[in-house]
């Protein structure tokens, strides 16, 4: 009689077997989610994303071509990536972006998009055709004048119209709101009220530090502050089950069609199940949003060198939480990072 030891293996051994050849860090976290910045250009100038003095834009010759993006994604897919989010800058300002989304959709990946919504109406039919349904739209104020103050541009009406168009198309729309004390924190409840009669998700994002955005936590609004205000206004909140690898904790007010969540990078880091990798527009792999170290994938790819080992070795250097800033955000460290617009949302 042959004894079956299948169920006697240690969980870590099983995980190691499963992760063989996949993008796995030293904490046994498997990375199957790739965020790609298509460009560092944007048609808005949000102060928390772009430094007031502007940024030095990447030279065109150093930006990944659309064909290079597809080729590099195929390598990541071979290593287990099954989800790709397109970001920027503003990804929809990238010329011929329709070609790219068609090519990536043909690979069978789950495609997602983060956009400011200005150009969204031009692509909704295409997105519907290829099955891109998950769209995050940055919207930091429901007040037209305040939105213009934050973004330094006047596109509010167009963005609101495009949000409605996306909802009418049946898209899974999430609104990303960076909450900053003294700027838009008074609108917290107004944003949550949007979820009462619309099947929409509102995501509050704690103000995060990047090069040149004048960050300090005195301007931040914590997860607990948001929850306290919501409960005072709407009563007991329904706590929703969070999908695996979720970056937010999610809630619903009574009888609401939609929901709201909080991305608490500062007060409650969610790094333990991180499955995300970032690729900048100039082809640098970043293990974490806050990582100073980058690995040049594009140069190796252009030389015809295999990039699989480069990717797998890079992920081994990933720190457990916020690139080593487990206890507090280090101003000197994040000032050595890129600005948000140069990393990708």
Interacting residues of 204 by C-beta distance below 8 A, sequence separation 6+: 177, 179, 188, 191, 221, 226, 260, 261, 262, 263
Beta bridge partners of 34: 84, 277
Q: What is the pLDDT of residue 325?
A: 74
Sign of CA dihedral 171, 236, 226, 249: negative
The partner residues of 83 in beta bridges, in order of sequence, read 33, 110
What is the arithmetic mean of pLDDT over 1-27? 54
Residue 176 contacts by C-beta under 8 Å, 6 or more apart in sequence? 114, 136, 137, 138, 139, 203, 205, 345
Q: Report the candidate in 125, 158, 122 with the shortest Cα–Cα distance to residue 139.
A: 158
Query: pLDDT tens for residues 125-170?
Result: 999 999 999 999 999 999 999 999 999 999 999 999 999 999 999 9
The Cα 335–Cα 88 span in angstroms is 20
Q: What is the pTM of this model?
A: 0.89
Say what percent of the chain tops pLDDT 70. 86
Q: How far apart are CA 68 and CA 48, in angstroms?
A: 30
> b/e per residue, 311-335, with b = 16+ CB within 10 A?
beebbeebbbbbbebeeebeeebbe
**Per-residue pLDDT tens over the stretch 188-201:** 999 999 999 999 99
pLDDT digits (tens, 9 = 90+) for 303-313: 999 999 999 99
Least confident of 41-55, 184-198, 239-253, 322-336: 322-336
Domains annotated on the chain, with CATH: 31-343 (3.20.20.70)
- pLDDT of residue 19 exceeding 60, the answer is no
Q: Taking 50 as the threshold, does the pLDDT of residue 8 lie above it?
A: no
Predicted confidence (pLDDT) per residue in 39-49, tens digit? 999 888 887 77
Cα distance between residue 22 and residue 75, in whole Å: 11
């Amino acid at each position: 009689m042959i004894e079956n030891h299948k169920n006697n293996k240690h969980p870590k051994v099983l995980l190691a077997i499963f992760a063989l050849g996949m993008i796995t860090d030293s904490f046994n976290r498997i990375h199957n989610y790739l965020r790609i910045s298509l460009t560092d250009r944007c048609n808005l100038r949000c102060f928390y994303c772009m430094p007031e003095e502007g940024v030095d834009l990447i030279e065109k010759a150093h930006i990944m071509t659309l064909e290079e993006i597809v080729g590099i994604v195929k390598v990541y897919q071979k290593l287990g990536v099954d989800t790709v989010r397109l970001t920027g800058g503003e990804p929809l300002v990238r010329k011929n972006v329709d070609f790219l989304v068609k090519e990536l959709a043909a690979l069978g990946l789950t495609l997602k998009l983060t956009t400011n919504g200005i150009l969204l109406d031009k692509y909704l039919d295409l997105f519907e055709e290829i099955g891109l349904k998950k769209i995050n739209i940055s919207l930091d104020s429901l007040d037209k004048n305040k939105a213009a103050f934050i973004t330094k541009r006047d596109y509010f009406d167009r963005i609101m119209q495009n949000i409605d168009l996306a909802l009418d198309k049946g898209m899974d729309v999430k609104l990303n709101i960076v909450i900053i004390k003294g700027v838009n924190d008074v609108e917290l409840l107004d944003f949550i009220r949007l979820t009462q009669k619309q099947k929409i998700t509102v995501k509050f994002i704690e103000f995060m530090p990047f090069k040149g955005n004048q960050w300090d936590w005195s301007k931040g609004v914590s997860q607990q502050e948001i929850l306290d205000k919501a409960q005072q206004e709407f009563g007991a909140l329904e706590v929703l089950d969070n999908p695996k690898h979720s970056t937010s904790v999610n809630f619903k007010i009574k009888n609401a069609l939609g929901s709201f969540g909080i991305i608490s990078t500062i007060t409650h880091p969610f790094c333990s199940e991180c499955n995300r990798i970032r690729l900048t527009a100039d082809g640098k792999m970043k293990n974490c949003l806050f990582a100073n170290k980058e690995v040049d994938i594009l140069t190796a790819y252009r030389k015809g060198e295999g990039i699989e080992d480069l990717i797998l070795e890079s992920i081994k250097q990933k720190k457990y939480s916020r690139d080593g800033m487990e206890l507090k955000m280090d101003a000197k460290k994040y000032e050595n990072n890129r600005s948000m617009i140069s990393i990708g949302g």
